[in-house]
Amino acid sequence: MKKLMIAVTISVITLVFGGFWFVQTRVFASSEVIYEASTGLLPDQVCPRWILIDTATPEDPTIANDKLVISTSANSENIDYIQTDLAISYPLIIEARVKRVSGSTISTYREAITMGFTIKPNGGNAVGNTLYVGNDIIFLITPSGRGATASVDTDDAFHNYRIEVDSNGAVEVYYDDALKLTGTAYSSTSTHGLVERIYWGESSILAFGTSEWELVKHNAGCPSDTYLPIIVR
């Protein structure tokens, strides 16, 4: 069994009642961060926590039959999860096991299932890319639109999607362990922002739909904030 190595750094100290100091520690896991829907918990209920972005009405993420169900019903709606403040090493690896249930898009370069990242290779400018999963199609994007594309099954069964990114921003996408797409991370403040992050779900304002997720994991060692009491004498 692989051992999980952690490193702890103290980031904040706050005085509270009863003569206790509460020390906020930030724990970075140097191995995989794994979310599994079979736990019965939503991604924002596990540790390290995923931040939920939910603009959908009335839909909310749910757990059904050991699957995380993400559903939106209008282009303007989003439900996705994000982690920032990462400890990125290369190759960055992001994986998910997901099935498309339904979806609609008004764009040739957006779909209702997304897996994306923003990185700062060699301490430089923020760059990123996004894998989109549509109706029996997957693709990356470029500054001008749809990038590398592959025709694969996306809705008859669950499939494994793995994104690998090297220190130069080169991107490879594997579908059930077979290499299907290659591309590159690129700079776009409006698309990728300025902060290192990993996100997934339904994050486009040009598409909507329903998807089921069994597993999401990455190797970027997201921190977990905890509070440890220290007695002051």
2 pLDDT higher than 90: no
Contact criterion met (CB below 8 Å) for 23 and 10: yes
**Domain locations in the chain?**
32-220
Residue 124: per-residue pLDDT: 80
Count CB-CB contacts under 10 A for residue 10. 10
The pLDDT tens digits for 118-144 are 998 777 889 999 999 999 999 999 999
State residue 221 phi and psi, 5-degree precision.
55, 55
What's the pLDDT band for 59 if we cut at 50, 70, 90? very high
Spatial CA neighbour of 62 closest among 37, 95, 82: 37
pLDDT at site 223: 58
**For 24, left (φ over 0), alpha (ψ -120 to 50), or beta?**
beta
- What is the structure's pLDDT at 222? 62
Average pLDDT, the chain: 85
Q: 32-220 adopts what CATH topology?
A: Jelly Rolls (2.60.120)
Q: Look at residue 230 and tell me whether its pLDDT is greater than 70.
A: no
Regarding predicted confidence, which is higher, 229 or 30? 30
- Determine the Cα–Cα distance for residues 73 and 38; give it in Å rounded to an integer: 25
pLDDT range class, residue 1, cuts 50, 70, 90: very low
228 pLDDT higher than 50? no
**160-207: per-residue pLDDT in tens?**
999 999 999 999 999 999 999 999 999 988 888 889 999 999 999 999
- Per-residue pLDDT tens over the stretch 77-116: 999 999 998 989 899 999 999 999 999 999 999 999 999 9
pLDDT (0 to 100) of residue 192: 84
* pTM flag (> 0.85): no
pLDDT of residue 224: 54
Instruction: Cis check for the bond before 61: say yes or no (omega within 30 of 0).
Output: no
